[in-house]
Amino acid sequence: MAYKDFRDFLATLEKEGQLLTINDEVKPEPDIAAATKAMSKLGAETPAMLFDNIYGYTDAKVAMNVMGSWPNHALMMSLPKNTPLKDQFFEFARRYDQFPMPVQREETAPFHEVEITENINLFDILPLFRLNQGDGGFYIDKACVISRDLDDPEHFGKQNVGIYRMQVKGKDRLGIQPVPQHDIAIHLRQAEERGENLPVVIALGNEPAITTAAATPLLYDQSEYEMAGAIQGEPYRIVKAKDSDLDIPWGAEVVLEGELLAGVREFEGPFGEFTGHYSGGRSMPVIKINRVYHRQNPIFEHLYIGMPWTETDYMIGINTSVPLYHQLKEAFPNEIEAVNAMYTHGLVAIISTKRRYGGFAKAVGMRALTTPHGLGYCKLVIVVDEDVDPFNLPQVMWALSTKMHPKHDAVIIPDLSVLTLDPGSSPSGITHKMVLDATTPVAPETRGHYSQPLDSPVNVEKWEQRLRELLR
Amino acid sequence: MHTCPRCESKKAEVVSKSPVEGAWEVYMCPVCIFTWRSIEPETITNPEKYNRAFKVNPADIPNAENVPALPAKYIK
């Protein structure tokens, strides 16, 4: 079942006991970021938060941690909120296979209610605030940024919907970080080679399917809107922009239309990133905003990012793991069981697999390094047996404890590529990578004493299912 | 004009005032683009107490790396 818009999802979270409204007065800084970071520290099942009494504002509402837990991730897919993580993974993989789902086009949208084209001041329109103490300013970091391929503008799939960090750098001005690997950097390059500005739309406060699709590492010509439809199981609703041919999520709370300025770079950052470190002090492109629309009394959705785990890690966990799973399946369709690439966007990945013969698991680990996502991530790949749940870290630690022999099972490959944000890479973007084989040795690799593995009492799985239903 | 806590330029200006009159103002520095709110902790608002590791020397700003790189025709 699809959520109509952001408010519809918030209503479901509230009904399911997964939304905490903070009515007490809070200061924009440091309270909202501090409360959100504190919420992340309380575990993996925390609620979203809605702040509706913010000092100095009359009617601002700020939503945080909206997808910052596994129950909220399950509800994103309209699954029961206590759906186990591994089941969420397989359900996401099943829906990923439904891609592409055609879109549904609309003529008007709720965000058309209020339109501003003169004297735009983003600092007045949005209740902006600082996230981390070293940040260079106020950021927007959970919005969908939409742009088109200028050389192939009719290609719907080459229209990109991505989430990028954006620093508010003036009343109608944003800095944006499109690193060269990002799709929007391809569009910007095309525009700059022509000497033209690149039209962009920024949509804030969306229902969660498009946010999830926008944060999924899709191929360049795959449409995030058609993936959002696949994830929610219904066509995704979009509406045209007024100043360009770009398509906008119908249910957005706030929409900014503007253009990326060709040939402009300006000092940006720093900004606390998902690696748990700041990055910045570089010169980055600038967006000029020409038109703003929003719903009456819009809800500002924002995302605290910082030392993991935060909402980001829940938002890009499963949707990073599933493409890697599919790419490994292409090579080893009968062996790959599941992939957990949730640690710092997949810098650490865990793969569970069957083994055909000795040495096979190491080959699976090496293949992960050469997948598209692996080229920038997968610094450490842990390979475990098919009956070890890669999402259950105590099980993975058990496999490492008992199955791995450091002399035989630790493989280091020197000087491979990694994302430049990896603070350990040296030079930036280059690192050694490691495969740890924590699978049971199979012939002809006969070593260790693994002939008497423990089994469970009869009917444990039936009891597990029954208990889960009783606890629902 | 206000003093930027980060790069200490004297050119920062008010970019927003609280909807509730007198609660706070937001300032922005046109030199290093630092942005802050008047009621933030002193470690943010006071140039003397701003974290030294995050200070910006205006002389370094023109040398910052371009990300992504600019096509050749834009490089003077």
- Residue A313 scores a pLDDT above 80: yes
Residue from A205, A143, A133 nearest A168 by CA? A143
Number of independent structural domains in chain B: 1
**Binding annotation of A for Mn(2+):** 160, 182, 224
CATH of residue A434's domain is 3.40.1670.10
- Whether B74 sits inside 8 A of A55 (CB atoms) is no
Asked whether the beta carbons of residue B44 and residue A133 sit closer than 8 angstroms, the reply is yes
**Residue A328 and residue A303 share a domain:** no
Q: Which residues of A touch B40 (CB under 8 A)?
A: 29-30, 130
B66 contacts A283? CB cut-off 8 A: yes
A407, A266: one domain: no
What pLDDT, on a 0 to 100 scale, did the predictor assign at position A472?
77
Burial environment of residue B22 by CB neighbours within 10 A (0 to 12, 13 to 18, 19 or more): exposed
Same domain? For A158 and A11 the reply is yes
Q: How many CB pairs under 8 A join A and B?
A: 111
Determine whether the interchain pair A57/B19 forms a contact, defined as Cβ–Cβ distance below 8 Å.
yes
> Which has more confidence, A281 or A173?
A173
Q: Tokens 């949208």 belong to which residue?
A: A109
pLDDT in tens, A33-42: 999 999 999 9
Q: What is the identity of the amino acid at A147?
A: S
Please determine, for residue A468, whether its predicted confidence score (pLDDT) is greater than 90.
no
* CB burial string A168-203: b at 16+ within 10 A, e below: bbbbbbbbbbbbeebbbbbbbbbbbeeeebbbbbbb
- Residue contact A267–B32, C-beta within 8 A: yes
> Mean pLDDT by 10-residue block, N- to C-terminus, for chain B (76 residues)?
96 98 98 98 97 97 93 86
Residue A186 has pLDDT above 80, yes or no: yes
Q: How many domains, chain A?
A: 2
For the residues A7-35, what does the mean pLDDT come to? 98
Q: Say what the pLDDT of residue A180 is.
A: 74
Q: What is the pLDDT of residue A1?
A: 78
Q: Tell me if A62 sits within 8 A of A51, measured CB to CB.
A: yes
Q: How confident is the model at residue A372 (pLDDT cuts 50, 70, 90)?
A: confident
- My answer on whether A91 and A63 are in the same domain is yes
Q: Is the pLDDT of residue A108 over 80?
A: yes
Sequence length of chain B is 76
Domain that holds residue B33: 1-53
Q: State the ipTM, two decimals.
A: 0.98
- What's the average model confidence in pLDDT over A8-17? 98
Put simply, whether B37 touches A (Cβ < 8 Å) is yes
Q: Within a domain: residue A20?
A: yes
Is A471 domain-assigned? no
Is there a domain that residue B34 lies in?
Answer: yes
C-alpha distances (whole Å) from A327 to each of A132, A270, A333, A384, A397 are 36, 34, 9, 18, 25
Q: What is the pLDDT of residue A179?
A: 77
Q: Which of residues 101-140 of A touch B (CB under 8 A)?
A: 121, 123-124, 128-130, 133-134, 136-138
Residue A420's pLDDT is 84
Mean pLDDT score, A258-282: 94
A371 lies in which domain range?
Answer: 317-448
Cβ-Cβ contacts under 8 Å, B28 against chain A: 137, 169-170
Indicate the annotated binding residues of A.
160-165, 181-182, 224
* Chain centre distance of CA A449: 41
CB of A194 within 8 Å of a chain B CB? The answer is no
